Amino acid sequence: MSYPLSPAFALAALGTGLGLAGQAHADFVKDSKATLELRNFYFNRDFRQDNAAQSKQDEWAQGFLLRYESGYTDGTVGVGVDAIGLLGLKLDSSPDRAGSGLLPRGRSAPREAADDYSELGLTAKLKVSKSVLKVGTLLPKLPTTLANDSRLLPQTFQGAHLNSTEYAGLTVDAGRFTQVSLRDSANSEDMTVTTGSARGIVASTTSDEFDFAGLSYKWNDQLTTGYNYGKLDNLYDQHLVNLTHVLAITANQALKTDLRYGRSDDDGRSNVDNRALGALFTYSLGGHAFGVGYQKMSGDTGFAYIGGTDAFLVNFVQIGDFANADERSWQARYDYNFAALGVPGLTFMTRYLRGDNITLASGNEGKEWERNTDIGYVVQDGPLKNLGVKWRNATVRSTNFGNDLDENRLILSYSLALW
């Protein structure tokens, strides 16, 4: 279940529930854990194209994420419960700067951002051997459904998810989602397929049924393969296959290969027709990592995925997904982990992507490029242990479609283990 709550009640209700859980069973409590994460988020997006509908999005907000995971009762069928309490508070915004995805925005003029929003999610879970069934609020990380957590509070789903690891190396997932709560909303609603941009997808309905199933097999420490199926009822069905291989060259050198292919077709009330091929190769040497990627869309439309989620694509990055109709794109990436220089917790990443051959309704060819830079540091010890700071910068430019923008995000986070 998922409930929108008043700010004062959002975290207090979860705290009360945690106390009651302790009365259920000693083993239920023994393996339980609870964490509180504080997330302070500043977001600035400057639109650079001529005649932009909005000159910029500029907001600042504070988030609180309280998570609880119980253990399981004894017996053949173990019983447990998870809970998550979410609260977001506005620190700075205005109607002409709203819409960053940090805060809910009113539907009528002046479309001002809400002062706060909150949610309590509860999840029941059953465990038999190495299989776990969860029913309630879920934050899936599956190829077919990657819940978005790139703003103040995470996107959540309502439904059921069975995960089984009964056989060594084999992971099985199956289930159904019925509702979604977007990252800047406390309300549950039906799901949609991502449209807009130059994707070319037209959908005439929403859906309250997303069925999924998947297999992942780890052949050895170097090779993992997977197959996943997803169907958003009346909108699309999708088949995804992937392969990940890590070739150890020396003690501090390796080559990682990440291959992905997806086929998406309409399910009656859309025009989805897409084939997506992606490959990303990463060579690591000590603290350095050098990556190159290629992605190609074919078919009548771009790639299909549930609105608001992340896409299972090698070129899905900070702003774009490079998944428009017929688009082909390239990526060059560099990462450095300063632990190699004796500064653990400090990381750097930069990448550049370019896409072209995009089919537009006007008949013109669309082109785009994006540049990202991330610098992050997490305190490793002392009284400020787990305090993190991250700066994310992006620049996007396009030809014949889309927005031109410069973006900066500054995120301060702190995680505290309550027990």
Q: Tell me how far apart the alpha carbons of residues 393 and 376 are, in angstroms, rounded to a whole number.
A: 12
DSSP string, 145-209: EE---SSSS--EEEEEEEEE--STTEEEEEEEEEEEE-TT-S--B-B-B---TT----B---BS-
Read off the tokens for 144: 């077919």
Taking only the tens of pLDDT, the chain with its 419 residues reads 455 554 444 444 445 444 444 444 557 888 899 999 999 999 999 999 888 888 999 999 999 999 999 999 998 999 999 999 999 999 999 999 999 999 999 887 778 999 999 999 999 999 999 999 999 999 999 999 999 999 999 999 999 999 999 999 999 999 999 999 999 998 999 999 999 879 999 998 999 999 999 999 999 999 999 999 999 999 999 999 999 999 999 999 999 999 999 999 999 999 999 999 999 999 999 999 999 999 999 999 999 999 999 999 999 999 999 999 999 999 999 999 999 999 999 999 999 999 999 999 888 999 999 999 999 999 999 999 999 999 999 999 999 998 999 999 999 999 999 98
One-letter identity of residue 353:
L
CA 257 to chain CA centroid, Å, is: 22
CA 411 to chain CA centroid, Å, is: 16
DSSP string, 347-392: EEEEEEEEEEEEE-TTSPEEEEEEEEEEEEEE--SSTTTTEEEEEE
According to the model, what pLDDT value does residue 376 have?
98
Read off the tokens for 326: 């017929």
- Please return the burial class of 169, using the count of CB atoms within 10 Å of its CB with bins 0-12, 13-18 and 19+: exposed
Q: Tell me how far apart the alpha carbons of residues 195 and 307 are, in angstroms, rounded to a whole number.
A: 8
**What number of helices (H) and strands (E) belong to the chain?**
2, 21
Within 13 Å and on the Cβ side, how many CA atoms surround 267? 20
Q: Tell me how far apart the alpha carbons of residues 405 and 212 are, in angstroms, rounded to a whole number.
A: 35
According to the model, what pLDDT value does residue 114 have?
94
Domains of the chain: 190-399 (2.40.160.10)
According to the model, what pLDDT value does residue 18 have?
46
Instruction: Say which residue the tokens 């990940």 belong to.
Output: 244
One-letter identity of residue 388:
G
According to the model, what pLDDT value does residue 408 have?
98
One-letter identity of residue 218:
K
pTM of the complete model: 0.92
According to the model, what pLDDT value does residue 4 have?
57
CB 136, CB 121: distance < 8 Å? yes
* Whole-number Cα distances in Å, 299 to 102, 237, 315, 326: 34, 15, 18, 7
